[in-house]
Structures are given as structure tokens and as C-alpha cells.
Amino acid sequence: MRRPARGAAALLTALCLTLLAACGSGSEGSDPGSGADLPPLSELEASQAPKEITGPSTAKLTDRHIEPVDVDEQASLPATVVSHVRSGDTKVTVTDTSRIVAFDMSGSIAASLWGLGLGDRLVARGVSTDFPGAEDLPLITSEGHAVNAEAVMAQKPTVIITDGSMGPRDVVEQLADTGVPVVFLDNDSSFEGAAQLARDVGAAVGLPKSGEALAERITSDVAAAQAEVKRFVPERESDRLRMVFLYLRGNSGVYYLFADDSGVGDLVESLGGVNVAREMGWKGMQPLTDEALVKAKPDLIMVMTHGLESTGGVDGLLAEKPAIALTPAGQSKRFVDMSDGDVLSFGPRSAGVVEALARAIYVPEADQ
């Protein structure tokens, strides 16, 4: 799978920031709930999956913790890496990783650092960094995903690592003027991108072997999860679920369709669904139109938990958007929601996300 060109990724990031800014500070960071009492997918038999499933279900991670890789490696510093700033790629040298500030739209960089065993070096977090162990760190974002430069510097960071998806971007770049190394990494929303991010973060903190080990673990864990999911997927493609992902913020009147380059393509394919976004030729994020959704004929609609709540739940969404009620998914009320901070957080927990979504799709909690 090829990673998207940086220009396409930048456009998607800009769209994300525009939407999130419009939605206010309460739009993200939903309570992920607990799936600890649910059996892992490996313990469920395909025969347990009901033939007919109707109604909404919630996907919950059975374990939201991130286990650090066990690699005997001492950090090799200084580490010089390429930073992708707007003015052009530049080299940044990191000499001290004792106080790290890491932030991005999905919390993937902080999660990768935790997976590298540097959780105790994190001194702040963005709103999307809500996995166990990090939730009590000082928050450096306000009004949704806007970075507060003063809050960042108040933590006296020795290095700042980001991907440019949280801003204002100019403000973040200017933090380098304080003398603190600021590293901008590419961060592709995909399973392959999650593995590459682990390598890139590892290189930035002088732990290349640990980065490679984490990348290999992400890849192997996702492959194992996909193998488990495959047991529940109908053999005939005509019997497979047509899936779409909607970004909803009803209190702000924001309704968008997410396409492949938002990471949705990887999720749908891992879940054995028909990738409607690719079939319809959707790119990036685009406003939801009645015509597009009715034509897409989705059997199942994935959403973020807060997004669905903001529309008044499934019934509120169908009342607000009657065209959705005309689709197979709307008629059966087949919606699967997942915590905003989890569902598109490609990183060390990617395999868990696949498993949780598959369990909610094929063997909902009520049927277990």
C-alpha cells in the first residue's frame, strides 16, 4: 500500500482542522467506555454470529493499555532526523529526551512513544491522548485541538514532536525559535503508516531498534486481528457489508463522508467490508449529500461516539437526515460507533481497534 503524497495528507489535515475548529472544545475526547468484560474475538466462533443483525452497537477496546516493547537498547543521542516544515524539509538534532511534548490529531505520536517505553518522559498531552497512564498529564490544547504555545513551554520541554495536524501550524513552528528542537513527522492514517510512524518516532528519540520492534509488532498484531475477522466475513463478496464512515457534529451542522485517505479504507478492508468510498470515488472528506449516500446504499454506517451523541443518537440522526433512513443501514438502524479517540487512532492499538469493531459488527454485545 502506498502512502499518500504529502500534499494530499496536508489537504486532509487542513479539512480536519477546519471541521474541529467549527465544532468547539467539547467535540472530541469522548469517554471510550470499557470492553474489558467482553470476550476477545479469538474466543468467539463464527457460528455465534447471528444471521440477521439490526440496531446500533458500540465498539469497545477490551484493553486500552499500551504495552511497551521489550528491547534492550540505550538511547543513542544526539539523533538527527528530517523535520517536514512548511518552508521545506530541514534537519533537526535531538540531544535530550528527558521531557517530551508530543501531539497530533489522533494521539498516535504519544501512543508510539509510550510503546517505545518512554511514557515516563511525556510531560504534556493533547486532547486525543487519553490512553491509560497519559490521561492525567497537563493538557496543552484548548478549543478542541488548538495548541496553546504558553502551555507547551510551561512544561519546559527538551523536544517537541508533532505532525502538523494540530495548530495553528505557524505557532507550533515558531516554538523552535525558543531553542527547543521541534520535529515534524509524516503521519499517514493507515496501518502501514502506523508502523512507519513507530520507526520515525524511534529514530527521533535515538531508539531505532525499539522503533523497528514496535513497527513489526503493530504489523503482526494487525495481521493476526485480520485473520480472526476473516472467519466472520461471508465468502461471497455480494454478501459482504457495504460500509461507510460518517463524521457527525449535529450541534454544529457538520456532516461529512470520510474516504480512503482518512484511514477508513484500511479499516473497512480489515473488517471484510465493501469499501463504498473507493467504489464511489470519494476523496478525503466531503460534505454529506442525500444523493451521494442514497446512491452508496450502505448496509452499515460507522461513526464516532460523540458524533452520534451530538445528533441525538440514531433516531435523532435519522430525523435530521431522512435520506439516511432510505439506505439499508438506515432501515435496519445498523450503526457502529466507537470512541472518538480510538476509532482512527492508528498506532500501537490498531489491532485492538480492528478487533473491537469486528466484534461490534459481527457479534454485537447483545448477541454474546
Give the chain's domains with CATH numbers. Answer: 51-64+220-367 (3.40.50.1980), 79-206 (3.40.50.1980)
Question: pTM of the prediction?
Answer: 0.90
Place of cell 509510550: 114
The type of residue at 290 is D
Give the tens place of pLDDT for each residue, 166-203.
888 888 999 999 999 999 999 998 999 999 999 999 99
Which cell numbers in the block locate residue 18? 477546519
Highest mean pLDDT among 140-154, 163-177, 196-210: 196-210
Give the tens place of pLDDT for each residue, 260-282.
777 899 999 999 999 998 898 88
Place of cell 512513544: 113
- Own/partner contacts of 120-128, CB < 8 Å, gap of 24 or more, are 121/97, 123/99, 123/155, 123/156, 123/157, 124/151, 124/152, 124/155, 124/157, 126/166, 127/28, 127/29, 128/28, 128/29, 128/104, 128/340, 128/341, 128/345
Which cell numbers in the block locate residue 322? 431522512
Residues above pLDDT 70, as percent of the chain: 89
pLDDT of the residue at 221: 97
